[in-house]
């Protein structure tokens, strides 16, 4: 390695005769465009990778939620099967379908028309018709009277 001291600028410059000088190549406009192109391709690739990863995570979360819902449904169905397989449930279901009563039970037969009228009455009681809160008329006259005459 050779050393040369520049006396005019009083700065030391180290020259290497064996290495490749990158600063000489980077001065060309074609190299700059090529480097920008490669950088933009890499950035686009990273962007697509991140986007795909986010989509996969969303799909994974949806799948986990669906699995959890199916587990809850499966548990509810398992409990239902256990209940429905008991003799007590089978006896009750047979009595209900055949309109029979068990010991110390009384069976009531209610006609469908009576049930329909009862449902209408319940709706009227639960949701009464809405009444108007304000009175129709000219409220400006009332305000003028209030402001001019007072209370």
The domain spans of the chain are 26-92
* Size (the chain), residues: 151
pLDDT of amino acid 56: 97
Average pLDDT along the chain: 82
**Residue 19's closest CA among 1, 46, 39?**
1
Higher pLDDT, 37 or 102: 37
Tell me how far apart the alpha carbons of residues 84 and 107 are, in angstroms, rounded to a whole number. 22
Query: H or E segment at 2?
Result: strand 2-6
Query: If you write DSSP's letter for every residue of 23-49 in order, what string do you get?
Result: HHHTTSHHHHHHHHHHHHHHHHHHHHH
- Under a CB-based contact definition with an 8 Å cutoff, are residues 14 and 1 in contact? yes
Q: What is the 3-state secondary structure (H, E, C) of 104-115?
A: CCCCCCCCHHHH
Examine the pLDDT at 34 and tell me if it is beyond 60. yes
Backbone angles phi, psi at 127, to 5 degrees: -120, 85
Task: State the helix-helix crossing angle for 87-98 and 29-84, rounded to 10 degrees.
Answer: 80
pTM of the model as a whole: 0.42
């Amino acid at each position: 390695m050779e050393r040369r001291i520049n006396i005019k600028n009083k700065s030391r410059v180290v020259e290497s005769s064996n290495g490749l000088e990158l600063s000489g190549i980077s001065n060309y406009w074609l190299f700059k465009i090529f480097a920008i192109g490669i950088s933009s391709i890499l950035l686009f690739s990273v962007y697509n990778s991140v986007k795909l990863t986010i989509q996969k995570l969303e799909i994974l979360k949806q799948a986990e939620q669906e699995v959890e819902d199916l587990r809850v449904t499966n548990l509810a169905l398992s409990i239902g099967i256990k209940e429905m397989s008991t003799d007590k449930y089978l006896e009750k279901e047979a009595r209900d379908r055949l309109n029979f009563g068990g010991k110390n039970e009384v069976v009531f037969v209610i006609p469908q028309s009576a049930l329909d009228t009862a449902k209408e009455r319940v709706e009227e009681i639960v949701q009464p018709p809405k009444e108007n809160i304000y009175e129709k008329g000219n409220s400006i006259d009332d305000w003028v009277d209030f402001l001019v005459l007072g209370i």
